[in-house]
Amino acid sequence: MDEQKHNSYSSKYLCRLLVDYRKPILIILAVAALCAVIFSAPYFITPLYKSTTIIYPTSSNSISKVLISTTYQSEKDIMNFGEDEQTEQMLQVLNSNRVRDKVISRFNLMEHYNIKGSSKYPMTKLNKLYDARIKFRRTEYNAVKITVLDSDAALSARIANEIAEIFDSTMNQMQKEVAIEAFRIVEQEYNALVAEMDMLEDSLNTLRKLGVFDYESQVEMLSRQMAVELGKGNTQGINNIQKQLDILADYGGASYAINERLDNDRLQLSLVKSKYEEAKVDATEFIPHKFVVTSAFQAERKSYPVRWIIVVITVLSTFLLLIFCIIFYDRSKGFFRQATGKAPVTQPTEGKDRQKA
Dist. CA 173–CA 96, nearest whole Å: 13
Percent of the chain with pLDDT over 90: 22
Give residues with Cβ within 8 angstroms of 172, minimum separation 6: 286, 287, 289
Q: What is the mean pLDDT of residues 82-111?
A: 91
Q: How confident is the model at residue 110 (pLDDT cuts 50, 70, 90)?
A: very high
The helix (run of H) or strand (run of E) holding residue 147 is strand 144-150
Give the confidence band of 135 by pLDDT, cuts at 50, 70, 90. very high
Q: What is the structure's pLDDT at 234?
A: 62
Predicted confidence at residue 131, as pLDDT, reads 93
Alpha-carbon dihedral of residues 196, 198, 199, 205, nearest 10 degrees?
A: 150
pLDDT in tens, 18-61: 787 788 888 888 888 888 888 777 677 778 899 999 999 887 66
Please give the backbone phi and psi of residue 69, each rounded to the nearest 5 degrees, phi first.
-75, 140
State the Cα–Cα distance between residues 109 and 319, nearest whole angstrom.
41
Q: Band the pLDDT of 346: cuts 50, 70, 90.
A: very low
Find the DSSP H helices in the chain. Answer: 2-20, 22-39, 63-67, 84-94, 97-106, 109-112, 122-133, 153-209, 215-232, 235-284, 307-340, 348-356
Answer for the pair 166, 99: CB distance below 8 angstroms, yes or no.
Answer: yes
Is residue 126's pLDDT more than 90? yes
- Residue 99 · residue 93 · CB < 8 Å: yes
> At a CB cut-off of 8 Å and minimum separation 6, what does 331 contact?
none
Average pLDDT over residues 87-113: 93
Local confidence band at 145 (pLDDT 50, 70, 90 cut-offs): very high
pLDDT band at 338 (very low <50, low <70, confident <90, very high): low
Burial tier of 331 (Cβ tally within 10 Å: 0-12, 13-18, 19+): exposed
Q: Which range scores top for mean pLDDT: 74-88, 152-166, 309-323?
A: 152-166
Write down the mean pLDDT value for the chain: 78
Sheet strand arrangement including 290-294: 134-138, 144-150, 49-57, 290-294
pLDDT for residue 64: 61
Spatial neighbors of 104 by CB under 8 A, at least 6 apart, are 110, 126, 130
Give the separation between CA 198 and CA 204, rounded to whole angstroms.
Answer: 10
pLDDT at residue 353 is higher than 50: no
pLDDT value, residue 3: 46
pLDDT digits (tens, 9 = 90+) for 189-232: 888 888 888 888 877 777 677 666 666 566 666 666 666 656 66
C-alpha dihedral over 243, 249, 251, 256, to 10 degrees? 130
pLDDT at site 349? 46
What percent of the chain stands above pLDDT 70? Answer: 69
Residue 353 exposed, middle or buried by CB count within 10 Å (0-12, 13-18, 19+)? exposed
Higher-pLDDT residue of 17 and 182 is 182
